Structure 1
Amino acid sequence: MYFAAMCCIAGIISPHRALVTHQLGQRMAHRLQHRGPDDEGMWQSDDEHTLLVHRRLSIIDISEAGHQPMQRNEYTIVYNGELYNYVELRTTLQALGQVFTTQSDTEVIMAAVEVWGITDALQQFDGMFAFAIHHQPTQTVWIARDRYGEKPLYYHVRYGLQNRAFESMVFASEIKALWEVGAPKNINGTRVLNYLTLGMVQNPLQPTQTFYNDILQLPPGNFITVQPALGKLQMRRWYKPELQRQQAWEQYGNLTVNEAITVYQQLLQTSVQRRLRSDVAVGMSVSGGIDSAAIAATALQQSNTQHFHFFTAGFPGFEKDETVFAQQVAAHYPNRVTHHIVTP
C-alpha cells in the first residue's frame, strides 16, 4: 500500500582483478540511473576483488551523509530499501556502545552486522531491503534480501569451463544492468510458457529462476556469502516462516477475541507508525479493500503533516476494478486524493 523507495545496487565480485573494473561498474550504474537520480557512488576493495555500485533516491537522511557506498569501521555497504525499525535498533545498539555519525538506516544495518553478525542481524530487521556488505578483514561479501522479496536482487555467476571453479559474480537490482556486463540473454522457455498459460511470474519450487536461464534471483529471506579469494559462494535461508508461525502461536494462540483485537490494533498502529518515518513527503495508494482503508485511517491518525496524500487507480472495464469502493474510502479524506484512470 506504500510507494516503495527506488534506490538500486549493483556489484562485481571475482578472484580475477581484471574482471573487476570501474569501467564495468560505471556501465551498470548508468543503466540503473532511472532508479536513483539523486546520487551515484562506487567503491572497490583494497584487494580489487569486489566492486560495489549504488544509485540513490533519498528518503531517510537526505543529506550527503547518506551517500553510498557507505563505510563504517571494517564494513562497506550498498543498500536499497528502508529499515522501518531503524530508530529502535539504533537505540539498542547505542546502549551496547555503538556510536553513529549519520541519521541513516544504512549505518544502522552496518552496526547491527558488526555487533550481531549477519544472520542474527537479519533476524532483527523489519523492512524491505536488498543489500551487499563487504567485510574487509575476511574479504567476505554478504548479499541479502528481505523476508518477502519486496526489493529485487538478480545475479549471474560464471564458472570455469573445465574445473567449474568460481570465476565471477555480478549482481544488480535490475536484470538490464547484468546485460551491460556480459550476462547472456538465454530465454527460459518453460518460465515463459508458464507465464503465458498460467500467469505465473514466480516458481515457488524453483525460487531462483527468472525468465532467463543464466540469470538468477536471490530468493526472499535468503543471503549469499561470497569469498572471492577462496573461490567460495554459498546461499543460505535466514527467514523461516514456519518458525515465525510457531512463535506467533506460542505468543498469541491463547488470546480471547477482545485481547486479539487489542493486540491487532497495537501491531497495526506500530507498523504504520514505523512506515511513516521519512525525511520527504509521504503518500500511499488506496483501493476499496478493508486493508488499505484500515491503513489509511491509521496513517491519518498518526500523521501530523497536511501534505499526506492518497492515490487511487481505476481500470475501466476490468472485472476487478475497485473504483467505486476506492471512491467511498476517498470520500472520507477530501482534498487528499488523486485518482488516476489507467487505460490499455
Structure 2
Amino acid sequence: MCGILGNIHKSSSSWSPLAESDLSKLSHRGPDGSGVFTNEHIQFGHVRLAIIDLTDAGKQPMSSPDGRFVVTFNGEIYNHLELRVELEFQGERFSTQSDTEVLLAAYKVWGRDCVRHFRGMFAFALWDSVEKTVFLARDRCGEKPLFYHFDGECFSFASELKALIPLLKSPPPLDPSVVDMYLHYQYVPEPFTLLSGVHKLPAGHTLFLSLSDWNARLERYWDVENTHYEGSLPKDSAEILSCIRDGLEDAVKMTLRADVPVAVALSGGVDSGAIAALAQKNYKEPMHAFCVGYPGRPPYDERHQARALAESLGMIVHEVELPVESFIDFFPQLVRIMDEPIADPAAFGHYSVPEAAAREGIKVLLTGIGGDELFWGYGWVNQSVLANEFLGQRPWLSALANPGMEKILNRAAKSSRLPKTVRSWADRMGGLADTHTPPDQLRFYMGAPDFGEAFDLKETVSGPALRDLDSRNPFRP
C-alpha cells in the first residue's frame, strides 16, 4: 500500500518541490520511504510500502533508463514476472526486480494499451517528457483509489482526498447533490465525491492529459459486460467447477507474490475459506489467519467456524474481539481516515484485523472480498435476477411489477368480496414489485463500480492503509 499525489501545470512554472507537509498526509500509507520528482510542468510525490524488491532500487517516483518517462505508482502488477519475460523478448532490459520498472517498460512498448496487459490493483500517473503528456490509470475493479481536480491552470491528483485538498488553491465546497446521493445509497458512487469539482477516476478507466491542448480525455479500457471467456465453454457442472477452481487458484498464486510475509483475513464463510485453503496450499510455511468476533459470541460471530477451518489447514489462528467500547472510542478516528463516509458498521472489522496483523509483522493480507459480487451471493440479487428472468419470459407480467398495480393487487388480496383463489393469486403477484429490480438499477448495483466495490473495497483498502498493510483480493485480480 503506497500513496501518490501530484500537480501538473499548464505552463512552465518555477514552483518549489512538494513539501514534507504534503507527503505527510499520506505517511500512513508508506512507512518505507518517500520521494518527489519536480520539473517546470509537474510535481510527483510518493510514499512507499515496500512489498516487491525491498531495496532502494524500487524507490519512486521512478524514471525510465533514458529519463523520458517518470511514474508514481500505487499498487501491484501481479503478472509482472510474465510481462517481464514478454518485454525482454521485445528488447527491454531490467535492472531491478520491481514491478514499477515493468510498468515503465510496458508503457514504452505498448503505450496507453499497457493497462490491458496488467493483472493487479493499481493507480498511477506517468509523465512523458517528450510528448508533454500525463497518463493516469486505475485498475479494473477500482481497488486502488485515485482522486483528481482539474481547472484552467492546474491538474491535481492524490490517493486520498485529505492529501488532494492541500494541493488546491482553496478548499472546494460540499456538493449538495452528492450529499443527497450519499444519503440515498449510503455511499458515494463513482465518479462523484462529496466535494464540488473533485472526482474519482472510475474503475477500469484511464485519463490522458496533453499540455499542448490542455484537454483531459477519459477512456474506459475495461467493462465487465464486454469481457469474453477465451476457449471452449464448459460442458457441464463438473467442468464449470474445474474452471472456477483453476482460475481462483491461479489468482491466489499471483496475489501471494511478495517479498514480505502474507496472511489471510478469515471469516466462517465460503469466500475467505476458499482463499485460505488455496493460499496455504501454495505457501511455503504455515500462514497466519485473522478472524474477528464479538463479546459473548452472538450468532453472527464466526470465529468457531474460522478457527476450525484454519486449524484443519495447519494455519496459525489469531482471534480479534471487538468490544462495544471500541466502536464508540474508534468512531471519530474512523470518520477521519475514511475520506468519505460509508454507512456500514462492518468497517470496524476491516480496521481491527489489519491492526492485529501488523502487530505480527504482516504486510500483505489476502481477503475473500468480491466473492458475493462475483457469484451473486446477496439474497436480494438472486431474487431480482430470478424475477427479471421470469418477467422477461412473460412480458405481460411486467405491468404487475408497477408500483401502482402493486397497490391494486394488494388491495384485492385483502378483499373479502373476491374468491379465495383470486385473493391468493393477487397476493403472489403483488409481491413481484418487491423482488423485481429494473435491469438498469441492477446493473448499477452489480456493475462497475458496484455495490461491493463501493463498500467492501474502500473499507479493505483504507483499513490496511492505516496499518501499513496491503490488502489483496484474489476474486478481483
TM-score by length of structure 2 reads 0.63
The counterpart of 1:332, out of the listed 312, 322, 339, is: 312
Q: How does 1:133-172 map to 2 (within 5 A)?
A: 133-159=126-152, 167-172=153-158
Q: What is the distance in 2 between the residues matched to 1:238 and 1:265?
A: 27
Deviations, residues 30-81 of structure 1 (Å, cap 9, x unaligned): 2111111111111123xx1111111101000000000101111321111000
Contact 2:126–2:135, Cα closer than 8 Å, also in 1:
yes
* Counterpart pick for 1:215 among 186, 195, 198: 198
> Which string of whole-angstrom CA distances, capped at 9 and with x for unpartnered residues, describes residues 123-161 of structure 1?
1100000001111210111010000100000011123xx
8 Å CA contact 1:20, 1:50 repeated in 2: no
- 1:105 has 2:99 as partner: yes
**Gaps in structure 1 of 5+ consecutive residues:** 1-5, 160-166
Segment of structure 1 superposing worse, 220-229 or 106-115:
220-229
| 2:49 maps to 1:62 | no
Q: 1:75 to 1:338 in 2, by over 3 A?
A: same
- Pairwise CA distance, 1:315: 4.2
**Number of the residue aligned with 1:178:** 164
Task: Quote the residue 2:251 is aligned against.
Answer: 271
Cα distance in structure 2, aligned partners of 1:150 and 1:27: 26
Cα deviation per residue 1:269-294 (whole Å; 9 max; x = unaligned)?
21111111111111120111111111
Cα distance in structure 2, aligned partners of 1:14 and 1:141: 11
Change (3 A) 1:80 1:297: same
Task: Please say if residues 133 and 209 of structure 2, whose CA atoms lie closer than 8 Å, have aligned partners that are also in contact.
Answer: yes
1:197-212 paired onto structure 2 within 5 Å: 197-199=184-186, 201-203=187-189, 207-212=190-195
**Corresponding residue number in structure 2 for 1:241:** 224
* Mapped partners of 2:275, 2:211: distance in 1: 45
Runs of 4+ in 1 over 4 A off after TM superposition: 315-321
State the 1:95 CA deviation: 1.3
Contact 1:184 1:214 in 2 (8 A): no
Cα deviation, residue 19, structure 1: 7.7
Structure 2 alignment gaps of length 5 or more: 328-477
Higher strand share: 1
> For residues 21 and 230 of structure 1, what CA distance do their matches in structure 2 show?
25
Choose the corresponding residue for 2:90, options 88, 96, 102.
96
| 1:164 paired residue number | none
1:290-301 matched pairs, under 5 angstroms: 290-301=270-281
Distance in structure 1 (CA, Å) of the matches to 2:70 and 2:156: 17
Over 3 Å counting, the alpha-carbon distance change for 1:107 and 1:312 in structure 2 is same
Corresponding position: 1:189 with 2:181: no
How far did residue 195 of structure 1 move?
3.1
Q: Distance in 2 between matches of 1:169 and 1:20?
A: 14
Residue 254 of structure 1: how far off its partner (Å):
4.4
Relative to structure 1, is the Cα distance of residues 153 and 138 closer, same or farther in structure 2, using a 3 angstrom cutoff? same
Per-residue deviation, 1:175: 0.6
Task: From 31, 39, 42, give the equivalent of 2:36.
Answer: 42
SS in 1 for 2:36: strand
2-structure distance, mates of 1:319, 1:148: 32
Greater gyration radius: 2
What's 1:3 paired with? none
Cα deviation, residue 212, structure 1: 1.3
User: How much has 1:191 moved relative to structure 2?
Assistant: 3.0
Q: Does the 8 A contact of 2:188 with 2:194 survive in 1?
A: no
User: How far off is 1:334 after superposition?
Assistant: 5.6
Question: What SS class does the counterpart of residue 251 from structure 1 fall into?
Answer: coil
Letter in 1 for 2:125: A
Question: Is the contact between residue 79 and residue 130 of structure 1 (CA under 8 Å) also seen in structure 2?
Answer: yes
Distance in structure 1 (CA, Å) of the matches to 2:314 and 2:117: 39
Match 2:63 to one of 47, 65, 71? 71
1:155 and 1:286 map into 2 onto residues whose CA distance is: 34
Match of 1:162 in 2: none
| Contact 2:307-2:317 within 8 A present in 1 as well | no
Q: Is the CA contact (8 Å cut-off) linking 2:13 and 2:41 kept in structure 1? A: no
The one-letter amino acid paired with 2:180 is L
> Contact 1:11 / 1:25 at 8 angstroms: preserved in 2?
no
| Percent of aligned positions that are identical | 36
Alpha-carbon distance in 2 for matches of 1:188, 1:324 = 45
SS of the residue corresponding to residue 180 of structure 1 reads helix
Aligned match for 1:21, one of 16, 19, 24 = 16
Q: CA RMSD in A?
A: 2.0
Cα–Cα, structure 1 residues 263 and 36, in superposed 2: closer, same or farther, change >3 Å?
A: same
Judging changes above 3 Å, is the alpha-carbon distance between structure 1 residues 87 and 142 closer, same or farther for their aligned structure 2 residues?
same
Aligned length: 320
**Which of the numbers 111, 119, 126 marks the counterpart of 1:126?**
119
Whole-angstrom distance in 2 between the partners of 1:136 and 1:17: 13
The alignment partner of 1:11 has SS state of strand
Query: Equivalents in 2 of 1:76, 1:69: separation in Å?
Result: 7
Matched to 2:237, the amino acid is: V
How far, CA to CA, are the matches of 2:42 and 2:309 in structure 1?
A: 50
Distance 1:335 1:176 in 2: 38
What letter matches 1:139 in structure 2?
A: K
In structure 2, the CA distance between the partners of 1:13 and 1:318, relative to structure 1 (3 Å rule), is farther
Q: Mean Cα displacement is larger for which, 328-337 or 125-134?
A: 328-337
Cα distance change on mapping 1:109 and 1:318 into 2, 3 Å: farther
